Structure 1
Amino acid sequence: MGPGIADRLFAERHLVRLASLARTDPRLVAHELVSPAPAVAAALAEAEVLLTCWGAPALTAEVLAAAPRLRAVVHAAGSVKHHITDACWDRGIAVTSAAAANALPVAEYTLAAILFAGKRVLPAAQRYAGLRAPHDWLRESDGAGNYHRTIGLVGAGRIGRRVIELLRPFDFRVLLHDPYMDAVEAAELGVELVGLDALCARSSVVSVHAPQLPATEHMIGARQLAAMPDGATLVNTARGSLVDESALLGELVSGRLHAVLDVTEPELPPRESPLYDLPNVLLTPHIAGSLGNELHRMADQALDELERYAAGVPFADPVLPAALHHSA
């Protein structure tokens, strides 16, 4: 995993549990597996399981050749696409990830964004700070509120499904666009399956949860943005490439739409980007996913999976190569 990750990922209780499950040295964290340090090379030669997290180097055929006993990879984070290669699948290595654990804080962030968008919290707070005086907030808030709002979700993977669950207690109508779901399954989830253009046209809030794939690049483009009602909010916690940012900027600069953006393209907008200063934009630095003590949830899931492996039990949440072409 990347430098500095292990100290944040594992509390002392995790290290105690790890030592009870496997022969390992928790102080030995590998950041490089091609021409590694002697201690890492020796550990790799004996390793049966790799415990990985963000920043893990790619497990290429060259790396696997130096790890003849490797049988499994337990990833204490979400996507494995950055380090699990075809060589891993060719070797028959079992892979699991803590994507389910990482989905929870993203869904929670999304719920907060949806609720605040309906209440127009951001513009109200900015107006309040500017006025600093008595004001008829009830009249100014005509048209706001979360009663019978229509929310559109794009993608029903782990995060999208968790958002659906979190929205159930509220008085929302929920639309869903997902090409891998049928109407029967959508009805079982309590949502209405619609096309992407229809979803954008009917929703007060559009929240993006699709994976980053060639087919999803700029899937929210000028046509979809133009279809969104005046005053609607776009929430993006997926990847910046899913939204045509130049088209979005036009809608935001005009003031017609609002946005909550945890991801952008590029990930760090240039210093001169209007996104930093627009009053109708809440821009955050990719914090929707696990951070702080939420990393410990991913560590817990990873060690649960390691315990299953040690007991000879299949992973509860395996990563299957056939699913990677339409998942994050």
Structure 2
Amino acid sequence: MTTATTPVQRTATRPRTVLAMSEETKAAVFGPDALRRLEGVAELDPTLVVTDFSREGDGVQGRLREAEVLLTGWGCPRVDHDALLRMPRLKAVVHAAGSVKHHITDACWQRGIVVTTAASANALPVAEYTLAAILFANKRVLDGARAYRESRRHVSLLSLFPGVGNYRRTVGLVGASRIGRRVAELLKPFDLRVLMYDPYLGADEARALGVELSDLDALCLRSDVVSLHAPELPGTRHLFDAARLSLMPDGATLINTARGSLVDTDALTKELRAGRLHAVLDHTEPEVLPADSPLYELPNVLLTPHLAGSIGGELHRLADAAIDEIQRYATGLPFHHRVDPDSLAHSA
């Protein structure tokens, strides 16, 4: 299997490339400038977008037979054994999004296909959202704004929120993922104590990140804000159940930009309805809550519709990251963001 430092053996200066994603993804991620740049580094038909590898007509099967690189995005069909039979020359999959688990199968690894992802690029806006949420949570911005709006006069924040502020508060990060690590980096300039829990994080890595390693229960007990950045795995389902939520101090804030399944929604709703905790939730389980969920209306909840990740103009960063990888491939350089199949069992 190709290693992270070994370039893929390629056959063309401009590798023959096929787009495999939804039409909506292509339109949102690959603007005119990105497509022009892509055509400069890859040989492709920019008007052809494959959503079904068995599709006939429009020269699709001929393009797939010649494809050396598959440029994928949200809406890409599964690249399974049958699909790979249609792509005998395929050597690399470049994913212009985050997780590859939805479309990359064991058949890809068995054939030695190298996979790269724009997950690092997609991590940036999530980390920025999280930073803002942490600083606003400790500052009690939503509470202060609501009190001001309701009273329409001077609000004594010190009397309402005597512990308000970010100085020497403790933030607990759950998961040393790309996003968790980026959040840790963004928090470095602030006078905050940062704890991190991740069973795969070593002491040397923690020191380099400027965080204090902690077990999960201790992190919950000590943190004013707990932010979730762990992957969705069988072992992380309801990681924050009623017992773990009960460990968080009164007035603490839970931020979830990871996956809704990490939190027991019923248990969290109970804590929030009691007013004991606050929450910033960009992911929930179910992903769209029932219309009668109290989380829509509770004053101590900021509920956003899965917007922490790349949206709008931020999507163009994903295109740039993917094109950068194809350019590296075309010049014989190893990918910057190659996916390690051995790590997928404990990553997003």
Residues 251-285 of structure 1 deviation map (CA, whole Å, 9 limit, x = unaligned): 00101000000000011111111111111000001
Amino acid at match of 1:216: T
**Secondary structure of the corresponding residue to residue 151 of structure 1:** strand
- Structure 1 partner of 2:3: none
Q: In the TM superposition, what is the alpha-carbon distance from 1:30 to its structure 2 partner?
A: 1.2
- Structure 2 partner of 1:188: 208
Q: Does 1:71 align with 2:91?
A: yes
Q: In the TM superposition, what is the alpha-carbon distance from 1:197 to its structure 2 partner?
A: 0.5
Q: In the TM superposition, what is the alpha-carbon distance from 1:38 to its structure 2 partner?
A: 4.1
Amino acid at match of 2:258: A
Q: How many residues align?
A: 328
Q: Does 1:214 align with 2:234?
A: yes
Q: In the TM superposition, what is the alpha-carbon distance from 1:310 to its structure 2 partner?
A: 0.8
Q: Show structure 1 runs of 4+ deviating over 4 A.
A: none
- Structure 1 partner of 2:37: 17
- Structure 1 partner of 2:4: none
Q: In the TM superposition, what is the alpha-carbon distance from 1:296 to its structure 2 partner?
A: 0.9
- Structure 2 partner of 1:303: 323
Q: In the TM superposition, what is the alpha-carbon distance from 1:207 to its structure 2 partner?
A: 0.1
Residues 86-116 of structure 1 deviation map (CA, whole Å, 9 limit, x = unaligned): 0111111110000100000000000000000
**Secondary structure of the corresponding residue to residue 4 of structure 1:** helix
- Aligned residue runs from structure 1 range 70-149, under 5 A: 70-149=90-169
Q: In the TM superposition, what is the alpha-carbon distance from 1:37 to its structure 2 partner?
A: 4.4
Q: Does 1:53 align with 2:78?
A: no
Taking only aligned residues, the RMSD between alpha carbons, in angstroms, comes to 1.1
Q: In the TM superposition, what is the alpha-carbon distance from 1:123 to its structure 2 partner?
A: 1.4
- Structure 2 partner of 1:290: 310
**Secondary structure of the corresponding residue to residue 318 of structure 2:** helix
Q: In the TM superposition, what is the alpha-carbon distance from 1:185 to its structure 2 partner?
A: 2.2
Query: Which TM-score applies when normalising by structure 2?
Result: 0.92
Q: In the TM superposition, what is the alpha-carbon distance from 1:140 to its structure 2 partner?
A: 1.9
**Secondary structure of the corresponding residue to residue 218 of structure 2:** helix
- Structure 2 partner of 1:234: 254
The match for 1:254 among 274, 292, 302 is 274
**Secondary structure of the corresponding residue to residue 23 of structure 2:** coil
Amino acid at match of 2:271: E
> Which moves more between the two structures, 234-243 or 132-141?
132-141
Q: In the TM superposition, what is the alpha-carbon distance from 1:225 to its structure 2 partner?
A: 0.5
8 Å Cα contact 2:109-2:341 kept in structure 1: yes
> Which moves more between the two structures, 111-120 or 189-198?
189-198
8 Å Cα contact 2:158-2:164 kept in structure 1: no
User: How many angstroms apart in 2 are the aligned matches of 1:104 and 1:253?
Assistant: 32
User: How many angstroms apart in 2 are the aligned matches of 1:290 and 1:322?
Assistant: 26
**Secondary structure of the corresponding residue to residue 93 of structure 2:** strand
Residues 54-92 of structure 1 deviation map (CA, whole Å, 9 limit, x = unaligned): 111100111111111111100001000000000111111
Query: Which TM-score applies when normalising by structure 1?
Result: 0.98
User: How many angstroms apart in 2 are the aligned matches of 1:191 and 1:286?
Assistant: 27
User: How many angstroms apart in 1 are the aligned matches of 2:137 and 2:312?
Assistant: 25
Q: In the TM superposition, what is the alpha-carbon distance from 1:229 to its structure 2 partner?
A: 0.3
- Structure 1 partner of 2:243: 223
8 Å Cα contact 2:148-2:154 kept in structure 1: no
Amino acid at match of 2:108: C
Change (3 A) 1:36 1:223: farther
User: How many angstroms apart in 2 are the aligned matches of 1:115 and 1:18?
Assistant: 39
Amino acid at match of 2:50: A
The percent of aligned pairs where both chains have the same amino acid is 62
> Which ranges of structure 2 fall in alignment gaps of 5 or more residues?
1-20
